[in-house]
Amino acid sequence: MKAGFRQRMAEVHTWMGLLLGWVLYFMFITGTAGYLDTEIDRWMQPEAPVADYSVSPQTVVEHGRNWLDIHAPGASRWFIRLPVDRNDPYPRVFWQGAQGEGIAANGNAFLDPATGQPVEARATGGGQLLYQMHWRLHYLPRVASDWIIGVATMFMLVALVTGIIVHKKIFKDFFTFRPGKGQRSWLDMHNVVSVISLPFQLMITYSGLIFMALIYMPLIVVLGYGSGADNRQTFIGEAFGVPPMVEAMGVPAPLASLDAVLDQVSGRWGDAPVGSFEIRHPNDANARILVRGSHAAGPLRAANMLEFDGVSGELLAEYPARQSGSKAFRDVMLGLHEGLFAGPLLRALYVFSGLLGAAMIATGLMLWTVKRRQRAEKARGGSHIGLRLVERLNIGIVIGLPVAIAAYFWANRLLPVGFSARAEWEVHAMFLLWVVFWSSRSGHGLSSNR
């Protein structure tokens, strides 16, 4: 009975890994690049100044406010993000709903912390684009990518659980590798990289599902709060401690001193870093100022927040980072998934584990084709079209994707700096070279039984 159950789990493990293995490999490679997104951004924008974290928050906030006053008048919301660590090396401003002739309604800009002027550097998708690829699946509509990623992640979780059940000698497998043995070697390699990174794979897969839970289970919100955007916003406000938007009064009023607000924040938080300012209805009598701490201060992907009256500067409410056990669990899972809090050594471990995850998927795909090619050659002296298709998909994705990412970096240096669409064409170059590589290798199989 036990052997029969384990055999069934082995079949589930095999097919769950194969059916969406190529998507999962893409997710792991691009997601792992996301742990180095800031470093990749820096390499892809060599003209950008060196990050300077010594400038005072007061100076950064003043620069941000002055920029927004000029370039985003009449906006419904202003955002000023402060440089506190590698995740935010430069001050950044965002705005929504700006009004005026020649004024962009929505936009953002990176500022030099010392001068308050925009950072001048070549346009590029950078590392952040590679990171976003692992869950947005470039070129696909958001709805389609969300569901493809969700199904693939669930398949990954099933494959991990069944893999643990199948390998009853999991620790023995960890120390076993027999090179030059064909199928046996692929299995040994698959086992080794799987066991080494198993805790990371379980965490990253489960937390990935939590990240998208509200997309996959929308009826939870509907049953409790009703349908419609307003009811959903009410849920988000109550569940995540986000104060609801107040209506603008339509009466002009000067914005409170942000320096004075910072003084109040320092009195409550001490030396804890300030991550961002959000100003709702700036220069309106009903303005609000929300000050948030840093989401990267620890594994809890949440921050303390203070709400101030935007005219008088009076403190209205305080929202702690930890508001309930269930929210804290979710925030910890998301914090572990993104790894924003990780220092250099832990970040290197994240990258290493992510690459092992990609190797786990790749060796699993190779193992599938090696095993079936051996069977096909014994049975008929050849291979059927399905096997050849999988072999070509393997070589096109397992080898082709890293080559395509290299083309993304090459395009960053080869495209003219002044080319207006260079950021888009960096991505186009990546996928075009991927297609060319795939086409050129379509006649070759990656697997071998030797």
Please indicate whether residue 30 or residue 382 has the higher confidence score (pLDDT).
30
Picking from 4, 366, 430, 32, the residue whose alpha carbon sits closest to that of residue 188 is 366
Name the band, by pLDDT with cuts 50, 70 and 90, for residue 325: confident
If you search the block for the tokens 């500067």, which residue do you land on?
313
Please indicate whether residue 75 or residue 218 has the higher confidence score (pLDDT).
75
Question: Can you name the residues that pair with 94 across neighbouring β-strands?
Answer: 79, 108
DSSP string, 186-239: HHHHHHHHHHHTHHHHHHHHHHHHHHTHHHH-THHHHHHH-SSHHHHHHHHHHH
Per-residue pLDDT tens over the stretch 111-162: 998 889 999 899 999 999 999 999 999 999 999 999 999 999 998 998 888 8
If you search the block for the tokens 């008088």, which residue do you land on?
312
* Per-residue model confidence (pLDDT) at position 420: 87
Per-residue pLDDT tens over the stretch 388-415: 888 888 889 999 999 999 999 999 999 9
* Per-residue model confidence (pLDDT) at position 354: 97
Judged against a pLDDT cut of 70, whether residue 204 lies above it is answered with: yes
Per-residue pLDDT tens over the stretch 101-124: 888 999 999 999 888 999 989 999
How many Å apart are CA 374 and CA 430, to the nearest integer? 35
Name the band, by pLDDT with cuts 50, 70 and 90, for residue 447: very low
Judged against a pLDDT cut of 80, whether residue 14 lies above it is answered with: no
* Per-residue model confidence (pLDDT) at position 446: 45
* Per-residue model confidence (pLDDT) at position 382: 56
How many Å apart are CA 158 and CA 147, to the nearest integer? 17
**Helix, strand or coil, per DSSP, at residue 360:** helix
Judged against a pLDDT cut of 80, whether residue 57 lies above it is answered with: yes
If you search the block for the tokens 């890994």, which residue do you land on?
17
Q: Give 431's contacts (C-beta < 8 A, 6+ positions apart).
A: 138, 139, 404
Structure tokens at 191: 């086992």
Estimate to the nearest angstrom the gap between the alpha carbon of 141 and the chain centroid: 17
Name the band, by pLDDT with cuts 50, 70 and 90, for residue 448: very low
* Per-residue model confidence (pLDDT) at position 43: 96
Return the percentage of the chain with pLDDT > 70, whole number.
88
CA-only gyration radius of the chain, Å: 26
Q: Alpha-carbon torsion 134, 136, 139, 141, what sign? A: positive
Judged against a pLDDT cut of 60, whether residue 443 lies above it is answered with: no
Please indicate whether residue 297 or residue 135 has the higher confidence score (pLDDT).
135
Judged against a pLDDT cut of 90, whether residue 65 lies above it is answered with: yes
How many Å apart are CA 219 and CA 231, to the nearest integer? 12
Per-residue pLDDT tens over the stretch 351-381: 999 999 999 999 888 888 877 777 766 666 5
* Per-residue model confidence (pLDDT) at position 169: 63
Picking from 438, 434, 424, the residue whose alpha carbon sits closest to that of residue 139 is 424
Judged against a pLDDT cut of 90, whether residue 291 lies above it is answered with: yes
Return the percentage of the chain with pLDDT > 90, whole number.
59
* Per-residue model confidence (pLDDT) at position 442: 59
Q: Quick count: other Cβ atoms within 10 Å of Cβ 143?
A: 9
Structure tokens at 127: 């590392």
How many Å apart are CA 249 and CA 284, to the nearest integer? 7
Structure tokens at 151: 């199904």
Judged against a pLDDT cut of 70, whether residue 261 lies above it is answered with: yes
Pairing outcome for strands 92-96 and 107-110: antiparallel
| Average pLDDT of the chain to the nearest whole number | 87
Helices (H), 381-419: 385-394, 400-414
Per-residue pLDDT tens over the stretch 268-288: 999 899 999 999 999 999 999
Q: Is the pTM of this model over 0.95?
A: no
If you search the block for the tokens 């961002």, which residue do you land on?
276
Name the band, by pLDDT with cuts 50, 70 and 90, for residue 186: low
Picking from 421, 361, 417, the residue whose alpha carbon sits closest to that of residue 48 is 417
Q: How far is CA 196 from CA 2, 129, 199, 200, 355, in A?
A: 26, 29, 8, 9, 11
Largest CA distance in the chain: 84
How many Å apart are CA 72 and CA 108, to the nearest integer? 10
If you search the block for the tokens 């430069």, which residue do you land on?
90
Per-residue pLDDT tens over the stretch 298-316: 899 889 999 999 999 999 9
Judged against a pLDDT cut of 70, whether residue 338 lies above it is answered with: yes
In contact, 99 and 75? CB cutoff 8 Å: yes
* Per-residue model confidence (pLDDT) at position 6: 65
Name the band, by pLDDT with cuts 50, 70 and 90, for residue 230: confident
DSSP string, 264-304: HHHHHHTTPPEEEEEEESTTBTT-EEEEEE-TTSSSS----
Q: Length of the chain, please? A: 450
Q: What residue segments make up the domains of the chain, in order of their start? A: 2-45+125-214+340-440, 57-120+242-322
In contact, 136 and 128? CB cutoff 8 Å: no
Q: Alpha-carbon torsion 386, 391, 394, 400, what sign? A: negative
At 169, which amino acid appears? K
* Strand positions, DSSP E, 18-101: 77-81, 92-96
Per-residue pLDDT tens over the stretch 23-56: 999 999 999 999 999 999 999 999 999 888 889 9
* Per-residue model confidence (pLDDT) at position 417: 93
